[in-house]
Structure 1
């Protein structure tokens, strides 16, 4: 079960993040942390929550106990008092934080916390994915808050790291996105057969994650069918809100969503039972078709693995060969569990399921000695329409390079 004390036994300062303005995402300065033991005395996840316009999803840090004693931290989250206390409870039992990993170059929601987290553990060595960059100016890592004397770039050869006996990793080479770049480093913890990934692979839970349920306001906001609705706080309504939030997060605007005219939105806002700033003054510019749940069922499946539609449409299709090569390497490892930084975790999965998730990049899905399935699990084409429009607009304006043909 997730591990967190009751808020009435804590000071508000325990879950305050004072530097929220560096990444102004909901819930802004108020960030709770839930710790969960995933593999007994070996791996723990630390979940926080973030989003925009109440479209909230978990963001996750993973901590792994080292054989020699001490801890490795993958993708730090905001180091609030609550978060650091939960980490230090592990430190007291298993030893110091020895290594901190920044496994991405473009994920500001991961990068922004590494420097502040590292300052809490001054003995830890920091390892970052190669080719780090920042926007609008490409600044040195030390200017981004990473400690210069103990920050290192992950070498291409994973055997050249001090944690090589326990971990292997594969670097998805830098993908050129015009004004930006994308890369990700997947880590394999050999002893527990656990794969750690950042953004590339996800699985969607049917019910809202525990961290999201600590404050159900966002869930109930998106459970409304119209502005005037008063939504009771029930498990069914929390689930309904979560499932709609998921579709927003994956597609921005799925096919089952209609946006009414602003005259209608403003008229309905005056009928809303709550018109506070928190409730966006009663504005609710969404209208869901009666069959919206079909879109959620398509991504949920039976808890399958898949690549987020945004990455499919706007990022990984710029480098299909590099991505497939990376997926093949990861799928050659022996793992039984996957822990992504978002949505569900841990996920019980096999290497073939991981590899299968990338078949959208191929004309003919990969089959190798009967290991990989030929099924690609396509998502509904109509739900990709807005993302495709964005992609076409970026291409037409020359902001990003065009996608490459499938292999």
Structure 2
């Protein structure tokens, strides 16, 4: 594996290189200013392009993967914002390996992926766009072309992966569409045969102990969440960056883990008046977080030894609506002989075997599958106490009839 990283030098690049004009279509931090970090993960074969997104400085990577085709040219999995910097870094690969031939939208519900595909495709007018079936949008279910996808060169991925022009190099498996009431969830996992690499969108993640490189380009969000109280002045060092990242990971994946207390707004406003920084950048001193002393224990349980797991929100609100379909999909993916996994979020690339991927879905089973290499499901499960808020959300949505009830484990 190669690990060369490439990003523009901030001192040399004009701010316009980071600009994303259509940020208002998905108003997430860092809004109109997005840096891009390119990494070669398999020499002359696979590259990742990381950007950043988040709310209230809870920032995580969002990732595009670029694969060199044997016949020449490039395949793009899950495009990111086509900023001038991003397109420049990609065109460096185009100059060496050939034009972008295929652009893949591997999800139907992930707006943070879908919103970039149309603008991205306009930079590569010869590329064919392939999208997961059963696309939808909210609040209005608009045709794909109304969402910016090019009319004449957008195609639905067929169930049979052998029917695509890139079938010799890729296999794929479609999960979905899982009914969620207002819409559906689906994901398409791609397997690049030659490099033995699996590309996934949201289905599995692994959390690194230290903040990813893209997060460290601007450490302010890390230091913001490293505070214990709003009046703290946090030094920029490795320890505090790691502390901020680990808390961000807990917040992003659980919303409110058991080790996070949310003080009342009266206390929040009183503390804001004492803040060392009450600028707009610091949200005027508002800091509605109070971490328990043993918060690190929850992060260690989440990370494990760098294991793969299904994000808690998918476990609690989505995949438990279709356990049988999900397990069948996981079994198909685990039948491929991959040794690397590249998700669209958190850590990447991940050294992993097929049984480890399959193991991540054991929460859907009453008894873990021996064929999947599972022998102690309880030791693998994430701590139940951190699911409290998500369970309450699930219960409330089900009671109101907004989402269908979860199904029994299989």
1:140 aligns to what? 143
Q: CA offset at residue 268 of structure 1?
A: 1.1
Q: CA offset at residue 266 of structure 1?
A: 1.2
**1:213-232 paired onto structure 2 within 5 Å:** 213-232=216-235
**1:27-66 paired onto structure 2 within 5 Å:** 27-66=30-69
Once residues 49 and 159 of structure 2 are traced to their aligned partners in structure 1, the CA distance between those partners, rounded to angstroms, is: 28
Task: Determine whether 1:67 maps to 2:70.
Answer: yes
2:332 aligns to what? 329
Q: CA offset at residue 330 of structure 1?
A: 0.2
1:299 aligns to what? 302
Task: Determine whether 1:118 maps to 2:124.
Answer: no
For 1:3-33, what per-residue CA distance to the aligned partner results, in whole angstroms no more than 9, with x for missing partners?
1121111000001001100000000000000
Q: CA offset at residue 393 of structure 1?
A: 0.2
**1:7-406 paired onto structure 2 within 5 Å:** 7-368=10-371, 371-376=372-377, 377-406=380-409
Q: CA offset at residue 380 of structure 1?
A: 0.7
What TM-score results when the alignment is normalised by the length of structure 1?
A: 0.99
What TM-score results when the alignment is normalised by the length of structure 2?
A: 0.98
Alignment RMSD:
0.6
Once residues 389 and 216 of structure 2 are traced to their aligned partners in structure 1, the CA distance between those partners, rounded to angstroms, is: 29
Q: Secondary structure at the match of 1:30?
A: coil
Once residues 271 and 141 of structure 2 are traced to their aligned partners in structure 1, the CA distance between those partners, rounded to angstroms, is: 46
Once residues 72 and 352 of structure 2 are traced to their aligned partners in structure 1, the CA distance between those partners, rounded to angstroms, is: 28
Once residues 268 and 189 of structure 1 are traced to their aligned partners in structure 2, the CA distance between those partners, rounded to angstroms, is: 52
Once residues 269 and 77 of structure 2 are traced to their aligned partners in structure 1, the CA distance between those partners, rounded to angstroms, is: 45
Comparing 278-287 and 60-69, the one that deviates more:
278-287
Does the 8 A contact of 1:42 with 1:64 survive in 2?
A: yes
For 1:145-191, what per-residue CA distance to the aligned partner results, in whole angstroms no more than 9, with x for missing partners?
00000000000000000000000000002000000100000000000
1:3 aligns to what? 6
Q: CA offset at residue 375 of structure 1?
A: 2.9
For 1:251-295, what per-residue CA distance to the aligned partner results, in whole angstroms no more than 9, with x for missing partners?
000000111122221111111110011101101111100000011
Aligned residue pairs total: 405
For 1:346-396, what per-residue CA distance to the aligned partner results, in whole angstroms no more than 9, with x for missing partners?
00000000000000000001112xx52223311111000000000000000
Q: Secondary structure at the match of 2:211?
A: coil
Once residues 260 and 32 of structure 1 are traced to their aligned partners in structure 2, the CA distance between those partners, rounded to angstroms, is: 34
Once residues 299 and 77 of structure 1 are traced to their aligned partners in structure 2, the CA distance between those partners, rounded to angstroms, is: 27
Q: CA offset at residue 96 of structure 1?
A: 0.3
Q: Secondary structure at the match of 2:5?
A: coil
For 1:309-364, what per-residue CA distance to the aligned partner results, in whole angstroms no more than 9, with x for missing partners?
00000000000000000000000000000000000000000000000000000000
Does the 8 A contact of 2:8 with 2:85 survive in 1?
A: no
For 1:55-83, what per-residue CA distance to the aligned partner results, in whole angstroms no more than 9, with x for missing partners?
00000000000000000000000000000
Once residues 386 and 338 of structure 1 are traced to their aligned partners in structure 2, the CA distance between those partners, rounded to angstroms, is: 29
Once residues 116 and 365 of structure 1 are traced to their aligned partners in structure 2, the CA distance between those partners, rounded to angstroms, is: 43
Q: Secondary structure at the match of 2:396?
A: helix
Q: Secondary structure at the match of 1:228?
A: coil
Q: Secondary structure at the match of 2:370?
A: coil
Structure 1: gaps (5+ residues):
none
Q: CA offset at residue 142 of structure 1?
A: 0.7
- The list of structure 1 runs, each at least 4 consecutive aligned residues, that deviate by more than 4 angstroms after superposition, is none
Once residues 261 and 168 of structure 1 are traced to their aligned partners in structure 2, the CA distance between those partners, rounded to angstroms, is: 51
Q: Secondary structure at the match of 2:6?
A: coil
Once residues 349 and 228 of structure 1 are traced to their aligned partners in structure 2, the CA distance between those partners, rounded to angstroms, is: 42
Once residues 11 and 62 of structure 2 are traced to their aligned partners in structure 1, the CA distance between those partners, rounded to angstroms, is: 24
